[in-house]
Amino acid sequence: MSGFHGLFIPGPTNMPFPVRQAMDLPLEDQRAPDFPAFTLPLFRDLKKVFRTESGQIFLFPSSGTGGWEAAITNTLSPGDKVLIAVFGQFSHLWADLCRRHGFDVDVLDVAWGEGFPLDACEARLKADRAHEIKAVLVCHNETATGVTSDVGGVRRALEAARHPALLMVDGVSSIASIDFRMDEWGVDIAVCGSQKGFMLPTGLAIVGVSQKALDAHKTAKCPRGFFDFTMMGNANKDGFFPYTPATTLLRGLRASVDMLLGEGLDNVAARHHRLAEGARAGVAAWGLSLCAKAPKWYSDTVTAICVPKGFNSDDVIKTAYHRYQLSLGLGLTKVAGKVFRIGHIGHVNEIMILQALAGCEMALRDVGIDVAPGSGVAAAQEHYRETAPRMELPKVA
């Protein structure tokens, strides 16, 4: 097959050339005397991406799921109560992981397509006068449904209830792509992975931890080994790791962080928003509906689209893959067969979104869903034309 395969799943995402090039190097000595000169500034700059000054960053050779495990085992004790809202496959899986670790999991069950229920959470916290809830777990961007929740609002709910629970956030498909403010929102643990907004291969869990969470860690009794903050932190303070770090990925991460900070985090978020608005304009022009139930929840990193009744979204995805070299995200569990997803996270631009929309249109029509050819592409084009930065064009001599 010629050309590039269209990768429009919400992770792994498209890898920029500078990131790939930064990883094309021989394996290196992770105990070299000059290794800390590389790692210490990397930790410092990652804090900027998480927007934390007082927090600490941990890097584990793992994936986002390992970051979840690091968060709960390092700061809680067996049997502790955690409050989590479930409104999609990823929030469901985090709740499930908590159950398998023996925590008392209090679930706020929410319809898929809605976001974190702030009022219900505040009511639960206010009712918990004995402060049995030790942590509130929030999936910032539910990748399964294309729903972004208001993490700052969860912090306000905790404050309104004067509740001391830790605030833990799954930012796997939001950090480094959409607006995320660890310190401002009082996030105690922020979990990310390498293969989404950071535009890297899978293989790193990137975890931001507040001083409050580090204090909780001192008395937390859950068994932990590989993910232990103390062991990791002791080695990290001198720029080293307690076991072999994924040095190649760390080199890629350096390039990725340089790209993100070079563009500016506000610009990165604005770019994701503009691209997502174009994708949503395309979906509206098709006459299809989003899985996300209200604009306040629309995700700027992934758009989940419902197929009309009587159609199977898996057919759209298979057709796009086999006929047009286009990978789209599947509908997961509860929305299997009902939803397909366009990932627009990381290294993406306008033309790439138009490509994805064009491929979707062909696949939709192939399976018998009557969208007007070119309608979604045209709507997105007009959005991008209207919102393109107006720059002086170079004069032709």
Ligand X SMILES: *Cc1c(COP(=O)(O)O)cnc(C)c1O
> Is residue 170 at the binding interface for ligand X, with CB under 6 A as the rule?
yes
Rounded distance between C-alpha atoms, residue 54 and residue 52, angstroms:
6
- According to DSSP, residue 290 is labeled B
> Is residue 193 at the binding interface for ligand X, with CB under 6 A as the rule?
yes
Query: Which residues lie below 8 Å from residue 373, measured CB to CB, with a gap of 6+?
Result: 361, 365
Rounded distance between C-alpha atoms, residue 109 and residue 391, angstroms:
48
> Is residue 226 at the binding interface for ligand X, with CB under 6 A as the rule?
no
The 41-80 contact track toward ligand X, x by CB under 6 A, reads ----------------------xxx---------------
> What is the DSSP pairing of strand 339-343 with strand 302-306?
antiparallel
> Is residue 146 at the binding interface for ligand X, with CB under 6 A as the rule?
no
> What is the DSSP pairing of strand 166-170 with strand 147-148?
unpaired
Q: Which is nearer to ligand X, 61 or 64 (CB)?
A: 64
Exactly one of 149, 173, 236, 248 binds ligand X (CB under 6 A); that residue is: 173
CB of 172 to ligand X, least distance (A): 4
Exactly one of 23, 70, 139, 358 binds ligand X (CB under 6 A); that residue is: 139
Rounded distance between C-alpha atoms, residue 113 and residue 98, angstroms:
23
> Is residue 172 at the binding interface for ligand X, with CB under 6 A as the rule?
yes
CB of 91 to ligand X, least distance (A): 8
CB 192 within 8 A of CB 12: no
Rounded distance between C-alpha atoms, residue 379 and residue 285, angstroms:
6
CB of 202 to ligand X, least distance (A): 6
Tokens encoding 223? 């068994």
The 75-114 contact track toward ligand X, x by CB under 6 A, reads ---------------x------------------------
Question: CA 112, 334, 344 angle in degrees (round to 5)?
Answer: 65
The 5-24 contact track toward ligand X, x by CB under 6 A, reads ------x-------------
Rounded distance between C-alpha atoms, residue 242 and residue 336, angstroms:
41
**Which residues of the shown chain bind ligand X in the complex (CB under 6 A)?**
11, 63-65, 90, 139, 141, 143, 170, 172-173, 193, 202
